[in-house]
């Protein structure tokens, strides 16, 4: 289990994670910058950077924590929320290892009959990158209101660590490879318990909390 500070440097939050200078997430409309040039971390990925800079491979970590973004609060968005990320770096780590790990996680979380689907995506810090869906736990993949009749629910983003990230932390990308994944804790909670408004998780309404 790895942890890191909520206040981060631009290098740890963006530069070391191969985020281009013109990436929209760097904009002040999306990120909370402080007067000294630091920022409130947008994701828990800087923990991966900090850990790799202090430890040699192999690396196997989980890093849960609070994140901050300039989102207008509504039913599905909050200016602060929680993520949990995983990182595995060693020799000969493959996309098959990532799929096997996430398949195991899916069955532990959703039940033994759940299926998993990878869709191509883009993240600056992984290549290739994927978004990962699980079959809907409400309708078992048949289609319902919860999954918008698709049979699938988007759970997380993942991919193989980009070699540029390894260069930033002084790992030899010719010798090691790795995968990373990240998911929103509130999002999974909302899916599992049928919660329609993320604000319910923060308002401390006893009537709501007593259900759990």
How far is 63 from 85, CA to CA, in rounded Å? 5
Instruction: Write down all domains in the chain, each with its CATH number in brackets.
Output: 7-209 (3.30.930.10)
pLDDT for the residue 98: 97
pLDDT for the residue 77: 84
pLDDT at 73 over 90: no
pLDDT for the residue 196: 84
pLDDT at 187 over 90: no
Instruction: List, in order, residues 6 or more apart from 104 with CB less than 8 Å away.
Output: none
What confidence category does residue 192 fall into, taking pLDDT thresholds of 50, 70 and 90? confident
Instruction: List, in order, residues 6 or more apart from 124 with CB less than 8 Å away.
Output: 17, 18, 19, 20, 23, 162
Q: Is the whole-model pTM more than 0.85?
A: yes
% of the chain beyond a pLDDT of 70: 100
What confidence category does residue 74 fall into, taking pLDDT thresholds of 50, 70 and 90? confident
Q: What is the mean pLDDT of residues 113-129?
A: 94
DSSP 162: P
Q: What is the mean pLDDT of residues 117-133?
A: 95
pLDDT at 85 over 90: yes
Q: What is the mean pLDDT of residues 50-70?
A: 97
Higher-pLDDT residue of 10, 24: 10
């Amino acid at each position: 289990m790895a942890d890191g500070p909520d206040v981060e440097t631009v290098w740890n939050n963006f530069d070391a994670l191969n985020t281009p200078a013109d990436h929209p997430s760097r904009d002040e409309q999306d990120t909370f910058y402080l007067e000294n040039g630091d920022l409130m971390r947008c994701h828990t990925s800087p923990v991966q950077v900090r850990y790799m800079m202090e430890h040699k491979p192999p690396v196997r970590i989980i890093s849960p924590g609070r994140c901050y973004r300039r989102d207008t609060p509504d039913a599905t968005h909050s200016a602060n929320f929680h993520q949990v990320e995983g990182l595995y770096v060693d020799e000969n780590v493959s996309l098959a290892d990532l799929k096997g790990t996430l398949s195991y996680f899916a069955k532990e979380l959703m039940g033994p009959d759940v299926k998993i689907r990878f869709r191509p995506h883009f993240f600056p810090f992984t290549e290739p990158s994927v978004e990962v869906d699980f079959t809907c736990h409400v309708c078992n993949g048949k289609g319902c209101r919860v999954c918008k009749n698709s049979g699938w629910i988007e759970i997380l983003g993942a991919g193989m660590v980009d070699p540029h990230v390894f260069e930033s932390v002084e790992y030899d990308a010719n010798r090691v490879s790795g995968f990373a994944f990240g998911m929103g804790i509130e999002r999974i909670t909302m899916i599992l318990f049928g919660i329609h408004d993320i604000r319910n998780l923060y308002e401390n309404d006893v009537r709501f909390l007593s259900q759990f």
